[in-house]
């Protein structure tokens, strides 16, 4: 008997359809659909994607948040969302609500459970735990919403420990890792062999928010460029990230060696950049998971990253290109970047990349979520 048998329609609640948490939600929904489960998507961005059976809510403040994903906001316009969520359930019922954004959907889910008996699962992806302006705002409301959830999950052990530290009175969350979208899985082939990508072309993919430490990235690239004058840096980011990049590069001495592209969620742009780069370079102060690392590895691209947050959990604590110790030292990143460009580490990296991708291929993660759903439904009916 299928582990999905007897599960009702699951509704995925997201802020938008871009950004790490939304991509993870869409990937999970697609994987569940392939297994035969009915999945509905719900988000607040009129400009976002609309996969099959998608509904778009329209509260004014949630729309503003959807267009500015890194704006600090807590429990955005809950009464508007409550009204629309109740109406949606009454016209097209679903049996389980899976929240991938607590700030927009937390209170509406709480009231939907009280008024319609629909259990909800909360998944934390990163900034919703680590940003004080989000989890720290209205803490009593947050605790009540989480206490009433039928299950709470985090995408890494690091994030689960951070949540337990912030709210020790709550039950320990389940850890269900993110996984690579099936359409991004590639045979590594020769990509991690000698000569992969374009010589000395380094790639960074992020929103360029302060937590990504773009100044450190540029300083690291400057150290490398002093050794390898033909090196170039490609920044793939959001529209707001492109504005930040232009501000940082306006008077930067290496601005002509840096290219800024808008397309953090455009898979055609990303696939091309992954395939042509020498390495992906991250300089974040923390990452709860770092889904972009899996995408890079799937395209045969080595990853240089700091040993912070959930990164060692994903790549492994002995990943050869981790920056340990002082993770704000630009010379350390430049050294790892040069190591990749020289090609000496590629045979080892190929084997290690295959191991990482096998752990996050989705099969284990989807099964874990199904077990969480089954438990949530049994709790909800108790």
What is the mean pLDDT of each successive set of 10 residues along the chain, which is 382 residues long?
71 85 91 92 83 79 49 53 89 95 88 96 87 70 92 96 93 95 59 60 94 97 97 94 95 96 83 93 94 92 96 96 97 96 82 92 94 88 56
Neighbours of 294 (CB within 10 A): 26
Burial (CB < 10 A; 0-12, 13-18, 19+), residue 81, is buried
Q: Which helix (H) or strand (E) holds 237?
A: strand 232-237
For the segment(s) 183-359, the CATH number from 3.40.50.2000, 3.30.930.10, 3.60.21.10, 3.40.50.261 is 3.40.50.2000
Which pLDDT belongs to residue 43? 87
Share in percent of the chain as helix, strand, coil (round to 5): 50, 15, 40
Nearest-CA neighbor of 96 among 122, 125, 77?
A: 122
End-to-end CA distance of the chain: 23
- The yes-or-no answer to whether 10-179+362-381 and 183-359 have a common fold is yes
Which pLDDT belongs to residue 381? 58
Task: Quote the CATH superfamily of domain 10-179+362-381.
Answer: Glycogen Phosphorylase B; (3.40.50.2000)
Which pLDDT belongs to residue 266? 78
pTM, full prediction: 0.88
Domain map of the chain by residue range?
A: 10-179+362-381, 183-359
Nearest-CA neighbor of 126 among 98, 102, 150?
A: 102
Contacts of residue 358, defined as CB under 8 A and 6 or more positions apart, other chains included, come to: none
Which pLDDT belongs to residue 48? 78
Phi-psi region of 54 (alpha: psi -120 to 50; beta: other; left: phi over 0): beta
């Amino acid at each position: 008997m299928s582990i999905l048998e007897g599960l009702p329609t699951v509704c995925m609640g997201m802020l938008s359809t871009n950004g790490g948490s939304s991509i993870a939600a869409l990937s999970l929904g697609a994987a569940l659909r392939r297994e035969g489960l009915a999945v509905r998507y719900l988000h607040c961005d009129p400009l976002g994607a609309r996969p099959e059976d998608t509904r778009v809510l329209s509260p004014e403040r949630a729309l503003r948040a959807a267009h500015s994903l890194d704006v600090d906001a807590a429990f955005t316009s809950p009464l508007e969302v409550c009204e629309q969520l109740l109406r949606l359930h009454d016209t097209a019922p679903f049996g389980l609500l899976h929240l991938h954004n607590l700030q927009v959907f937390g209170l509406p889910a709480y009231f939907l459970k009280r008024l319609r008996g629909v259990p909800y699962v909360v998944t934390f992806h990163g900034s919703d735990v680590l940003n004080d302006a989000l989890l720290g705002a209205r803490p009593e409301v947050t605790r009540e919403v989480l206490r009433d959830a039928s299950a709470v999950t985090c995408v890494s052990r690091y994030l689960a420990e951070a949540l337990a530290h912030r709210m020790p009175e709550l039950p320990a969350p389940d850890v269900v890792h993110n996984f690579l979208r099936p359409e991004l899985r590639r045979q590594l082939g020769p990509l991690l062999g000698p000569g992969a990508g374009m010589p000395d072309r380094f790639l960074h993919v992020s929103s360029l928010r302060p937590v990504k430490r773009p100044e450190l990235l540029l300083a690291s690239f400057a150290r490398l460029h002093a050794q390898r004058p033909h090196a170039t840096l490609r920044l793939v980011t959001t529209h707001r990230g492109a504005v930040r990049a232009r501000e940082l590069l306006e008077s930067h001495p290496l601005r002509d060696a840096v290219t800024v592209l808008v397309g953090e969620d455009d898979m055609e742009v990303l696939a091309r950049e992954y395939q042509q780069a020498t390495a992906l370079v991250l300089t974040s102060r923390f990452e709860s998971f770092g889904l972009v690392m899996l995408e890079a590895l799937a395209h045969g691209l080595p990853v240089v990253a700091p040993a912070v947050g959930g990164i060692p959990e994903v790549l492994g604590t002995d990943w050869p290109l981790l920056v340990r110790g002082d993770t704000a030292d630009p010379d350390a990143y430049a050294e790892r970047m040069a190591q990749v460009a020289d090609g000496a580490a590629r045979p080892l990296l190929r084997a290690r990349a295959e191991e990482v991708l096998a752990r996050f291929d989705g099969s284990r993660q989807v099964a874990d979520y199904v077990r969480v759903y089954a438990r949530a439904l049994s709790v909800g009916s108790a």
